[in-house]
Structure 1
């Protein structure tokens, strides 16, 4: 598995943990606490999307750099 894939899995596990913590923190779910949890989850998901975009960009740049090094080395 690629480092990008591993990072995405870790990120997804972190989001799941955040969701579980938000539910546990809400104390069973008043409408206000559920709304606050939803806002936190939405913010976390937005951050995930940002990080996935950064990861994709970095992966693309690394792939390009690796190809250039291979060409230089004659592989």
Structure 2
């Protein structure tokens, strides 16, 4: 299945690209994370990496064809 992946802020700096498509055999977010961490091992250093699926914080649901998954670092404000 095709998944659209977006990268924001420092995550984008590490990947060097704002987005890409990835192909998964199953709808497992763990499989997607494994593929991304293999491709961009520096991302493992970001603690509490945030993930959203179709503009909602990831809450354990399986991924579906053409979902958009975004990865971004924790957000802080002042």
Using structure 2 for the length normalisation, give the TM-score.
0.25
Name which structure has the greater RCO, CA cutoff 8 Å, separation 6+: 2
In our comparison, the structure showing a higher alpha carbon Rg is 1
> Which is helix-richer, 1 or 2?
1
Please state which structure has a larger fraction of its residues in strand: 2
